[in-house]
Structure 1
Amino acid sequence: MSTTVQTPSRIERDGPVYAVSAGLVLALVFLFHESLANLWLRWGNQKELSHSYFIPLITAWMLWDRRDAIRQSMGPSSWLGVAILAFSVILVWGYQTTHIHLLQHIGLFVSFFGVALVVGGVSLLRLCFFPLAYLVFMIPPPFWIITVTSWQFQLWSSELGVAMIRMFDVPVALSGNVIELPTLNLQVVEACSGLRYLFPFLSLGALAAYFYKGPFWQRAIIILSTIPITIVMNSFRIAITGVLSENYGSQHTEGFLHFFEGWVVFLLCIAILLFVVWLVARLSGQKNVLGTLGLPEAKPIRPAQPFERNRFMVVAGVAAAGVAISAVLLHTSEDELRVPERERFVSLPLEFPGWQVQESPLDVETEQALGADDYIVLNLVNPENEQYNLYVAWLDSQRDGNSWHSPRQCLPGGGWEFQQQGIVSDGENNPLGHPYNRIVMKNGQVRYLVYYWYDQRGRYYADEINMKLGLIWDVATRQRSDGAMVRLMTPIDPEESVADADARLIEMARKTEEILQPYIPD
């Protein structure tokens, strides 16, 4: 007795199968409608993500190209797909609880694999794996990862850019991420970090590696090469901008020419990537380099068992009903966070009797970028004539993109160069009794010692990743996502050592923590 795979034409004419499939799609759209709207908004508002509009189209094209193989790879529906969709629902619940958009974005991404398993089983998922996995490039990284990555890329690009400028015999110096030329200074801001190249270039590199007909390690070289290419070429763009600005005027740092320089460099990045492909192919003995590139032929993956209509109706029906019910419950439930009562920072200067206290408000642009619900910046001089700068910021809730701008990323933008930086962890040698960040920075002949930490609902953090994990836990268990960041600075006098400044700032940090208790509730 033999079994045959049900023909696609019969499935396409089956009204109930079509209806259940449509129901599953509509349920998923309803479940992820907030995620889809947020993705569309992020792609449009963040220039380093503008390429993401094309990612779903590329996936759709790859799936359409293998449509015949898809029909022949349809196997029995898998309950594992229902389990994956259930996991996606849990991730959406996590977003509804914490408002961390990454959770629902990952849930959306994972759901595509669940749908493939529900529709055609493991054989269909295997055939469609890369086109679906390619959708990972449409997911925006968390804001804090973009901030950290951008800062590091700014420093690398600044250092390499200065080295390239010197090759043109132009006198140049670097302070933090400020390039000092004889007639003007260029600040390598976040927009010039190279992330606008890196994210779209990574997606192109992944496609090039997929199209390359060679072993895995060669494909890995191709995709990994996009990172150094991006850094070097972005540094080259900065160097060219600096040289042109020094010789012909600052108009070369803005406007159409700046935009034009960016596109030319991106095309050069693509050319270098193709050269890497050519080089890898030649070193591996390939004579026809063009023959190593092309969309891989998608051969059908024959399922162990044929597609079963009744099984599909049950599995897909359960999945559609479960997703629909979960979506209704999630999107109609109340979601409110508790914000504790606290003293506002406006009265903080009164906590330093006998001191010289001067409030130093931020400019409007910086204030809007920080997005704090309450903040204060104080310049302080104690009776012993010791100077301090105190910055405290408070957020009622850390959600919907509201988060902390770490001094580790912000300070180099002012031309500061970090001589020392690190985290002082818990332990016997920790003078404050909680983790904190410690930085020694220099700008010209001026040096400062900086401490900062995150005071979050009764716990102290120095590491942003641990802080995010604690945030998720507190939102889920305490319905709170409020918190504060505290930054203390003191100048290091030329005649004193860093150890002397440490002793002074430690004493000030202890005093500050006692004062801030009514302003930062546990």
Structure 2
Amino acid sequence: MTAMSSRLDDWVGPASGGTDMIWRRSLLMLVGMWVGILLLFWRDAADMAVIWWTSSTFNHCLLILPILGWLVVMRKTELAALVPVTWWLPLLYVAAGSFGWLLGDAASVALARQLGLIMMLQGTAAALLGPNVTRGLSFPLFYMFFLLPFGEEAVPALQLVTADMCMFLLGLFGIPAHIEGIFISTPAGLFRVAEACSGVKFLIAMVALGALISNLCFTSWNRRAIFMAACFIVPIIANGIRAFATIYIAEFRGIESAAGFDHVFYGWIFFGIVIAVIIGGAWRYFDKSPDAPAFDPARLQMPARFQVSAKAVMIGLGLIIAIPAAWPVIISAQVPPLPEQIDLPRPAGWQIVDHQSGQHWSPRFDGASRILYARYRNRAGQEVDFFAALYDRQSEGREIVGYGQGAIDPDGGWSWVENIPAPQGAKAEKIMGAGGVLRDVVSYYRIGGVTSGSASRIKLATMKAKLLGGDQQAAAILLSAPYKGKASQIAAINGFANDMGNIDKVADQMMGVR
């Protein structure tokens, strides 16, 4: 304890004995609460760490932790002039994070749980350090949001933006091209604006870097806003130019040369150029001296309102944080299993046939309790593939809807082309496989009495079932057929669905829901 006190004394700097004891007590309570929170929600913390380490999109998050420590150390002299207190107002923020975690767990949205975890850590620090210290630490506490692995949800939109920019530039340079979804065909070949070509990894990292530079180098909020807008817009434009350049080189030097250029250039070289352009353009407008203090402690010396005892704050924090961790365990104990015997539907006029012919297509539903797959043919020779994924319950890694789940397995060789008109309560899309093979897919999702092709509606129904204890069995039923030449077989899919009967009853029978 003596050694720890000495280190704390060094950290907070010279102060009176009373202030020193208050800082020591506050920091010990904060460390204890943070350790308790991280142990209670260790799966979410571990998931974030794994994503930081394994996903190139979020490797920059590994730098955020030391940056946070550096930002706090930068403020140690100013913070030492403030006195921490305990107050109850941040408990509302902690409660919002706690409830957000519970909603994220109910909807199997990892990002919502991770956001809730970050908010609980932030709110705990504010509750145990007081309003004045919290204002002094406002930017480091805000910057904790960049620990979240968020942004990949923008990949589809960025793919379309990149494809449209390529088409504009190709037209500007007189290169004939045709676009279908995210596929661009030119005389040199067919190009796909893949997920990795969306530019999302550089956009996310640039926004995080931009927020740090805005705090360190600007005092004017107008300049900060303009700089952050540049950190958002310039990487998108630069990525579109990079993608166009790859196609342009392929037109005149061949696809192999273009692939070599893209492989070498699309990395830290590209990101370094983008950073240099943005910072170089903003350099002359930096209006904050490098020697300027992070904040003026004299301006933060205000009477602290809403103070309560440390004991009351610790009890409040413990109750607020423990409830969401316990609730899912209570609800999940009430979930019955799926039936042992699950039969494929037998629509009139259709029979199950061998499905070895054609390019293999297999949707992706990680963690499904049961998978059923069959090909049907009617008397007219029309063929339709039936696929069902059934879940007795959903949890982390076992979500019926989510990124990378559904008709397109990111590792399965198929890519989304466009959405097409869908039957009521379904989602329909055209997908493309190797060699330009096309296929239509109609997807139905059902849980808690709700059938829809909308991921958001299914997420809401899942949340309701997991929060209130309703039926948690979930089913995904996908009907699909490959094109015959250039002819869509959506009519065959719709005919099969009509002959199969009410999709709600089919799904409920397979799940054993009465």
TM-score class, shorter-chain normalisation, is: 0.7 to 0.9
1:304 aligns with 2:295: no
What is the CA-CA distance between 1:493 and the residue it aligns to?
8.8
What is the CA-CA distance between 1:136 and the residue it aligns to?
0.9
What is the CA-CA distance between 1:460 and the residue it aligns to?
0.9
Tell me the SS of whatever aligns to 2:477: strand
- For residues 85-164 of structure 1, the aligned pairs below 5 Å read 85-91=94-100, 100-141=109-150, 146=152, 148-164=153-169
What is the CA-CA distance between 1:29 and the residue it aligns to?
3.4
Does the 8 Å CA contact 2:477/2:507 hold for their aligned counterparts? no
In structure 1, distance between residues paired with 2:172 and 2:463: 49
- Who is 1:191 aligned against? 196
In structure 2, distance between residues paired with 1:368 and 1:459: 21
- Who is 2:377 aligned against? 381
Amino acid at match of 1:56: L
Note closer, same or farther for the CA distance 1:516–1:316 as it changes in structure 2 (3 Å cut): closer
- Who is 1:233 aligned against? 238
Q: CA RMSD in A?
A: 4.6
Does the 8 Å CA contact 1:439/1:449 hold for their aligned counterparts? yes
What is the CA-CA distance between 1:195 and the residue it aligns to?
1.7
**Identity of aligned pairs, percent?**
18
Deviations 1:152-185 (A, max 9, x none): 2222223323443555665544343234354544
- Who is 1:250 aligned against? 256
In structure 1, distance between residues paired with 2:486 and 2:168: 33
Does the 8 Å CA contact 1:78/1:121 hold for their aligned counterparts? yes
Deviations 1:313-369 (A, max 9, x none): 435554576579779968998965735323767x52755655463436999996667
- Who is 2:337 aligned against? 340
What is the CA-CA distance between 1:105 and the residue it aligns to?
1.7
- Who is 1:470 aligned against? 461
Tell me the SS of whatever aligns to 1:131: helix
Tell me the SS of whatever aligns to 2:137: helix
Note closer, same or farther for the CA distance 1:18–1:228 as it changes in structure 2 (3 Å cut): closer
What is the CA-CA distance between 1:384 and the residue it aligns to?
3.6
- For residues 48-447 of structure 1, the aligned pairs below 5 Å read 48-74=57-83, 76-91=85-100, 100-141=109-150, 146=152, 148-165=153-170, 171-182=176-187, 184-211=189-216, 213=218, 215-245=220-250, 247-250=253-256, 253=259, 258=263, 260-274=265-279, 277=282, 288-291=284-287, 297-300=294-297, 301-305=299-303, 313-315=310-312, 317-318=314-315, 336=333, 338-342=335-339, 347-348=343-344, 351=347, 354-355=350-351, 357-359=353-355, 372-403=368-399, 404=401, 405-407=405-407, 414=414, 417-418=417-418, 421=420, 432=424, 435-439=425-429
- For residues 2-13 of structure 1, the aligned pairs below 5 Å read 7=15, 10-13=18-21
Amino acid at match of 2:397: G
Does the 8 Å CA contact 2:331/2:469 hold for their aligned counterparts? no
Structure 2 length-normalised TM:
0.76
Does the 8 Å CA contact 1:116/1:124 hold for their aligned counterparts? no
Does the 8 Å CA contact 1:356/1:382 hold for their aligned counterparts? no
Note closer, same or farther for the CA distance 1:36–1:353 as it changes in structure 2 (3 Å cut): same
Tell me the SS of whatever aligns to 1:79: coil
Deviations 1:355-391 (A, max 9, x none): 4634369999966675544334544332244443433
What is the CA-CA distance between 1:452 and the residue it aligns to?
2.4
In structure 2, distance between residues paired with 1:91 and 1:118: 18
Does the 8 Å CA contact 2:442/2:479 hold for their aligned counterparts? yes
Note closer, same or farther for the CA distance 1:458–1:329 as it changes in structure 2 (3 Å cut): closer
Tell me the SS of whatever aligns to 2:66: helix
Note closer, same or farther for the CA distance 1:332–1:58 as it changes in structure 2 (3 Å cut): same
What is the CA-CA distance between 1:207 and the residue it aligns to?
2.4
What is the CA-CA distance between 1:78 and the residue it aligns to?
0.8
The runs of 5 or more residues in structure 1 that have no matched partner are 1-5, 279-287, 425-431
In structure 2, distance between residues paired with 1:88 and 1:202: 23
Amino acid at match of 1:401: G
Deviations 1:415-448 (A, max 9, x none): 6643x64677xxxxxxx5xx32345789999987
After TM superposition, the structure 1 stretch with the greater mean CA deviation from structure 2, 436-445 or 297-306, is 436-445
Note closer, same or farther for the CA distance 1:293–1:513 as it changes in structure 2 (3 Å cut): farther
Note closer, same or farther for the CA distance 1:13–1:355 as it changes in structure 2 (3 Å cut): closer
In structure 1, distance between residues paired with 2:107 and 2:324: 17
Tell me the SS of whatever aligns to 2:58: helix
- Who is 1:484 aligned against? 475
Amino acid at match of 2:457: N
Does the 8 Å CA contact 1:154/1:177 hold for their aligned counterparts? yes
Tell me the SS of whatever aligns to 2:451: strand
Does the 8 Å CA contact 2:136/2:295 hold for their aligned counterparts? yes
Does the 8 Å CA contact 2:417/2:429 hold for their aligned counterparts? no
In structure 1, distance between residues paired with 2:213 and 2:232: 14
Aligned length: 491
Does the 8 Å CA contact 1:119/1:316 hold for their aligned counterparts? yes
